[in-house]
């Protein structure tokens, strides 16, 4: 036996979000936090924008693509796609141990859903 059992892995996946929820609950402020007006600007609609809001609509496409926000969004999407592809690449071996007959059709369904999800979700 090399590695964790299925039960231990499942418990780990259940404990982590529970731990984050407990920590968030402990750190949550007991009363509303008022924002200072410093660093807050008005957007094009005249509504107050948050201090971390970046208005990219007045920039050229090249400037938007070279912005830090675009880079971080691209990085996040790439990491998410790698995780999904890793799951699809390993799901057949995992499901073959449970039900070999269903493993092939389910793996094909997952492999189809990934690109379709990107095409449907992106526009």
User: What confidence tens digit (pLDDT) does each residue in 17-71 have?
Assistant: 889 889 989 998 888 777 665 555 555 555 555 566 778 888 899 999 999 989 9
Residue whose structure tokens are 């998410």? 80
| φ and ψ at residue 48, rounded to 5 degrees | -70, 130
pTM: 0.46
Tell me the C-alpha distance between 31 and 19, whole Å.
23
The closest of 20, 51, 55 to 33, measured between CA atoms, is 51
Mean pLDDT over 2-22 rounds to: 81
Of residues 2 and 7, more confidence is placed in: 7
Calculate helix-pair angle for 68-98, 100-121, nearest 10 degrees.
160
């Amino acid at each position: 036996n090399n590695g964790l059992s299925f039960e231990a892995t499942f418990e780990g996946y259940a404990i982590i979000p529970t731990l984050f929820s407990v920590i968030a609950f402990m750190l949550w402020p007991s009363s509303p936090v008022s924002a200072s007006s410093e660093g807050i600007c008005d957007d094009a609609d005249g509504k107050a924008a948050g201090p971390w809001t970046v208005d990219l609509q007045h920039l050229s496409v090249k400037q938007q693509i070279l912005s830090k926000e675009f880079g971080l969004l691209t990085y996040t999407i790439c990491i998410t796609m790698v995780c999904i592809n890793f799951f699809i690449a390993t799901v057949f071996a995992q499901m073959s141990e449970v039900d070999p007959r269903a493993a092939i059709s389910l793996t094909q369904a997952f492999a189809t859903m990934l690109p379709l999800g990107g095409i449907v979700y992106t526009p």
